Amino acid sequence: MKTEMAMQEKTKIKLAMGKLDPLAFDKRIYTLASFSAAVHDVFGHMEDMRKASRGGRISKAFAEKVMLSVTRVNGCRYCSYGHAHAALAAGVSEAELRSLLEGELGDFPEDEAVALTFAQHYAESSCRPDQQAWQRLVAYYGPEAAQDILAYIRMITFGNLSGNTFDAFLSRLGGRPAPHSSLWNEIGVIFGGVFIILWEVILHFPARLVSKKIVQEETLGTSVVGPTAWPEEADEIHS
């Protein structure tokens, strides 16, 4: 009993001295392997993002709401700050922004709530949403708009987890290491990521040049990639 009380007292002293933080870093982050897979996935769906941003099916304000719904789950402070400002600039009200940052979607109209709910579910399921959730999204918005929404979700997820991995490194320096991670993993993602991205550019640039003319002649209609095509990196993302 005395030993337990002594340990508790030592813990209090360490806390008071700032040497021990009771809260461990608990945000989802990348491993080096999952980051490499995520970069490959982003480049593989770059055309989807181009069509989403130029197609006009999803407004700027709506896209920002979708991305903030994902960001709220993943907890990236950088994306939260940047996209909050972008949302306000796009016409999202302060009340709506507050609801998005708190994860409260009850006051949003159905034509937005369906997508926002799917975005939350996508993030909460570590990029592995239920088939029924995807089918509902497609049934409500149509295949093209649903694919646009998914493109925004994919891109913001990459930004969220990249930011979180950088914060995991900062947290480690502050004495709060992320569970299931390591210093070398975090350094690998932060600094090795430059070379991984450059490699993907080298791989995809020739193919983009060859297909550019074909893409320009395509209509806006594209085949929808179903739930079997969710990013492979989800299996290695830590919760």
In three-state form (DSSP H/G/I as H, E/B as E, the rest C), the secondary structure along 1-44 is CHHHHHHHHHHHHHHHHCCCCCCCCCCCECCHHHHHHHHHHHHH
Distance CA 185, CA 172 (A): 12
Answer whether 126's CB lies under 8 Å from 231's CB: no
Looking at the predicted structure, is the pLDDT value of residue 219 above 50?
no
Could you tell me if residue 94 is left (phi over 0), alpha (psi between -120 and 50 degrees) or otherwise beta? alpha
What is the radius of gyration, based on Cα positions, of the chain?
Answer: 21
pLDDT tens digits, one per residue of 58-94: 999 999 999 999 999 999 999 999 999 999 999 999 9
Percent of the chain scoring above 90 in pLDDT: 49
**Mean pLDDT across the chain:** 79
Looking at the predicted structure, is the pLDDT value of residue 40 above 50?
yes
Domain boundaries, the chain: 26-236
Answer whether 134's CB lies under 8 Å from 226's CB: yes
Looking at the predicted structure, is the pLDDT value of residue 198 above 60?
yes
In this structure, what are the phi and psi dihedrals at residue 118, rounded to the nearest 5 degrees? -65, -40
Looking at the predicted structure, is the pLDDT value of residue 6 above 90?
no
Q: What is the pTM of this model?
A: 0.74
pLDDT tens digits, one per residue of 151-187: 999 999 999 999 999 999 999 998 888 888 899 989 9
pLDDT at 17: 33
